[in-house]
Structures are given as structure tokens and as C-alpha cells.
């Protein structure tokens, strides 16, 4: 027979839930303090709320970059009149990778293709107000994926011109 929950049972389970909430809050606070010591506010903001995540339907160029760390970034661009009108990304990488890819997509939107090709990892690191040494390669990976997307777009254009 199932015993009905008494008031004290309910209080006990409510206080267990409260304790779990407090524990979760403490873990989040500790993690955030750790992040804040390691990453700039710009990186944290970008990582928490990344822009332009996902596949781009009918992309005009797609680029992939694989890091030695085993992380991958895919970038998609849509181009009109030699300008990037949309740029999205997907990654299985770390928080810094997400921040780099997100900031890069926002930075190059509206930029001429040739100009976007000149963006360097250091430019991206400056936009993010710095990255820890061990995560600088995340910026290089994002830039490489973008350049590969632009190269893909350029080679599609050449093929179309020949056809
Ligand atoms: Fe490898 Fe970020 S740790 S790309």
C-alpha cells in the first residue's frame, strides 16, 4: 500500500530540493569565478550567448577546420555583390572555440569577401580582448574555417564562370 506523503515528508523533500538548488548555485558560482579569472568578459558573454549558430541553408561557401585538439569548426557564408551577408558556424569545440566562432561571424557580416579573407587570428583575439595562451589556437581554427568557406565560395564562382 502506498503511504500518503506527510507534511514532514513534503518538508524533507522540499528542503532536499532547496539544498540541491543551493549546491547547483554554488557550483555555477565557482565555475563562473574560475571563468572570470581565465577569460575576458567579452569571451564569457560570447560563449554564454553565441550568435549565428547552425547550418546555413543554400550557403555560397562552406569551410571546415580541424584542430590538433580534435575540435572541428564549420563555417557557412552567404555572399551577395562580393559581400558576406550571412555567416554561421557549428562546432564541437570548447567554450573559447564557440566564443571565437561566434565573434568572427558577427565581425565579418557585411564585410567584403576580400577583406574578410584578411582577418587574422590576432584580430579576433583583440576583438575578444584576449585569450589565454592555451586557447589562442581556437581563434586560428575559427579564422581557418572562415577562409576555407571563402575559398570554397571563390572556387564555386570560378566553376560557374567556366560553365
Ligand atoms: Fe581546440 Fe578550442 S580547445 S579549438
The CATH number that applies at residue 52 is 3.90.1010.10
Domain count, the chain: 1
Looking at the CA of residue 138, tell me the nearest atom of ligand 1.
4
135 pLDDT higher than 60: yes
Domain membership of residue 74 (yes or no) is: yes
Domain membership of residue 22 (yes or no) is: no
Looking at the CA of residue 69, tell me the nearest atom of ligand 1.
1
Containing 142, the helix (H) or strand (E) segment is helix 136-162
Residue whose Cα lies nearest atom 4 of ligand 1: it is: 138
Q: What is the mean pLDDT of residues 25-54?
A: 84
Domain membership of residue 142 (yes or no) is: yes
Domain membership of residue 33 (yes or no) is: no
pLDDT band at 18 (very low <50, low <70, confident <90, very high): confident
Domain membership of residue 20 (yes or no) is: no
Domain membership of residue 13 (yes or no) is: no
Name the nearest CA neighbour of 74 among 124, 153, 142, 152.
142
**To 10 degrees, what angle do helices 136-162 and 95-108 make?**
40
Note the pTM of the prediction, 2 decimals: 0.81
**Binding site membership of 97 for ligand 1 (Cβ less than 6 Å):** yes
Name the nearest CA neighbour of 145 among 101, 94, 85, 82.
101
Q: Classify 84 as helix, strand or coil.
A: strand
pLDDT, one tens digit per residue, over 67-119 is 888 999 999 999 999 999 999 999 999 899 999 999 999 999 999 999 999 99
Higher-scoring residue by pLDDT: 144, 10: 144
Which domain, by its residues, includes 112?
47-162
Looking at residue 1, its pLDDT comes to: 53
124 pLDDT higher than 70: yes
Name the nearest CA neighbour of 145 among 88, 65, 81.
65
Name the nearest CA neighbour of 80 among 103, 49, 101, 59.
59
Domain membership of residue 19 (yes or no) is: no
Domain membership of residue 36 (yes or no) is: no
Q: What is the mean pLDDT of residues 55-67?
A: 95
Instruction: Out of 89, 92, 138, give the residue to mutate to test ligand 1, the one with the largest number of ligand atoms within 8 Å of its CB.
Output: 138
Among residues of the chain, what percentage have pLDDT more than 70?
87
State the distance from the centre of ligand 1 to the C-alpha of 64, rounded, in angstroms. 14
Mean pLDDT of the chain: 90
CA distance 101 to 129: 15
Looking at residue 34, its pLDDT comes to: 73
Amino acid at each position: 500500500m502506498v503511504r500518503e506523503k506527510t507534511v514532514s515528508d513534503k518538508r524533507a523533500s522540499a528542503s532536499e530540493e532547496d539544498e540541491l538548488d543551493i549546491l547547483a548555485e554554488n557550483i555555477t558560482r565557482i565555475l563562473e569565478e574560475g571563468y572570470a579569472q581565465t577569460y575576458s568578459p567579452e569571451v564569457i558573454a560570447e560563449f554564454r550567448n553565441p550568435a549565428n549558430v547552425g547550418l546555413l541553408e543554400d550557403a555560397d561557401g562552406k569551410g571546415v577546420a580541424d584542430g590538433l585538439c580534435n575540435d572541428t569548426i564549420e563555417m557557412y557564408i552567404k555572399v551577395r555583390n562580393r559581400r558576406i551577408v550571412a555567416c554561421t558556424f557549428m562546432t564541437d569545440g570548447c567554450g573559447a572555440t564557440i566564443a571565437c566562432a561566434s565573434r568572427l561571424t558577427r565581425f565579418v557580416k557585411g564585410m567584403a569577401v576580400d577583406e574578410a579573407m584578411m582577418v587574422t587570428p590576432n584580430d579576433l583575439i583583440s576583438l575578444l580582448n584576449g585569450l589565454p595562451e592555451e586557447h589562442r589556437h581556437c581563434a586560428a581554427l575559427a579564422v581557418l574555417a572562415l577562409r576555407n568557406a571563402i575559398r570554397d565560395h571563390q572556387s564555386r564562382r570560378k566553376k560557374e564562370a567556366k560553365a
